[in-house]
A = this chain, B = another copy of it.
Amino acid sequence: MKSVIVAQVRFYSDKAARFVPKTGVYPKGFAVGGIHCGVKKNGKLDLALLQNQHGNAVASAVFTTNKFKAAPVQVSQRIIKETGGHGINSLVINSGNANAVTGAKGIKDAESMVTATDAAFGNGENSTLVMSTGVIGQKLPISPILKGIDTLAGSLGSSHQHWLDCANAICTTDTFPKLVTKQFELNGITYTLAGLAKGAGMISPNMATLLGFFVTDAPVTAPALRSILQYSVDRSFNSISVDGDMSTNDTIVAIANGAAGGEVIDQTSSSAVSYSKLRSEVTDFAQQLAQLVVRDGEGATKFITITVKDSLSFSDAKTIASTIANSSLFKTAMYGKDANWGRILCAIGYSDVSSSSSVLPDRTSVTFVPSDGIEPLKVLVDGEPEEVDEARASELLELEDINIDIDLGTGGGQSASFWTCDLSHEYVTINGDYRS
């Protein structure tokens, strides 16, 4: 555990200062909070609640595709299926225990968290979605959680501190809470988005998890929200990677209560402009939130944006970007501040793309685009290696933020971005050495 705590001490003040907002604007009609109920042994916040206080909200969710689905994932999936996302007015989340690989008792415990939250808010049954994160394979200490739900339900609020408590209460190995808020205008009305996430990292004998949710006071139908969530998650939470592992608990939820008023946004043609604008705002928002997860990747010293351009399809572009992002050789090169285009090329070459014309070796170009705004550094142009100015390359790779552009030159014009971090000694220490 020692090394993990060292990491928290080292990074928290720095990253928290840069990435945790001092204030926020919050959507109307939602109250949140977080307390310590007794799951975590270190006394940190471990239970979070969100309540919609404005009529009946609609919700949508995406879940891990891992075949070993944790109990809360199975229960939330059932509720989304049975309700179609209608009337979901609360969320309950515990950290410190993932309630995964816990058999029939695990399902019963997750169900009881839903029932207790429904009751605490006086809602009908199946009004709550449940998430858990933390140790796997251990039974949930359900009694302090149920007591905690009762206590916390009485002290929710909508202040910045309430939201920060909520964000802290879902953290496990995270070194800072991830909270993003945003306002935008649509048809003359100001709408607000607020969201939380927790990072993907692992701590023995646990697997940690990507959990997140965002809520808005915009009015939107359940099917439109579902479609917007899927689109935005494909381009945000499904376009990030710390180590390529996908947990049993990953869940992202979106809730909309319409409290800010205005015309309901759906997918009909009359609503097309509003739908498209909302989708774009949500995608941008989800990307900000997802990027914070990468910033806080275990042992991360670099924040790397990989953009693949001029691909035959979005899917090919994303596959290639993701393959580079998950290459241990690429990630160690970035840690070592080495403009190793060979490893990038290698990963492009073994990406599982859709056709033989998806990657054309003699059309492929690779450029490092400095985040300091200075001239881009071309390393490969149309398959031919450039003479690289090594001094300039070193300078560029000293920066925390690294942007790599891959131009596939297929004429397809599609593109995708993917965000990842480097693979450092600290990562190996965190994930290998905690017993020592």
List residues of A whose CB falls within 8 A of some B CB.
65-69, 100-101, 103, 136-137, 202, 204-207, 243-248, 327-329, 332-333, 335-343, 345-350, 359, 361, 380, 383-385, 422-425, 427-429, 431-436
Rounded to whole angstroms, the CA-CA distance of A323 and B430 in the bound complex is 21
- Asked if B66 and A336 sit within 8 Å, CB to CB, the answer is no
Most chain B CB neighbours (cut-off 10 Å) among A337, A342, A424: A342
Chain B residues with CB under 8 Å of A343's CB are 202, 207, 245
B428 pairs with A335, CB closer than 8 A: yes
Query: Which of B101, B207, B339, B350 is close to A385, meaning CB atoms less than 8 Å apart?
Result: B101
Contact between A246 and B350, CB atoms less than 8 A apart: yes
Minimum distance in angstroms from A245 CB to a CB of chain B: 5
Knowing A66-B350, A342-B136, the reply to whether A328 touches B245 (Cβ < 8 A) is yes
Q: Is the CB of A340 within 8 A of B65?
A: no
With A205-B342, A361-B67 in contact, do A337 and B435 touch (Cβ < 8 Å)? yes
Docked-complex contact A245 and B431, CB < 8 angstroms: no
Chain B, residue nearest A202 (CB): B329
Closest to A356 in B: B67
Measured between beta carbons, the chain B residues less than 8 angstroms from A204 are 333, 336, 338, 340
Q: Is the CB of B435 within 8 A of A137?
A: no
Q: How far is the CB of A196 from chain B (nearest CB, A)?
A: 23
Q: Could you jot down 22 A-B contacts, CB within 8 Å?
A: A66-B346, A67-B349, A67-B359, A68-B346, A68-B348, A68-B349, A68-B361, A69-B361, A100-B342, A137-B341, A137-B342, A204-B338, A206-B342, A207-B343, A243-B327, A244-B328, A245-B350, A248-B345, A328-B427, A336-B432, A338-B432, A422-B432
A432 in contact with B244 given A340-B204, A348-B68, A361-B67 (CB within 8 Å): no
Task: Give the residue of B243, B345, B422, B434 whose beta carbon is less than 8 angstroms from that of A329.
Answer: B243
Q: What's the minimum C-beta distance from A105 to chain B, rounded to whole angstroms?
A: 11
Known: A101-B345, A424-B432. 8 other contacts (CB 8 A): A68-B361, A101-B384, A137-B341, A245-B328, A248-B345, A328-B328, A338-B434, A338-B435
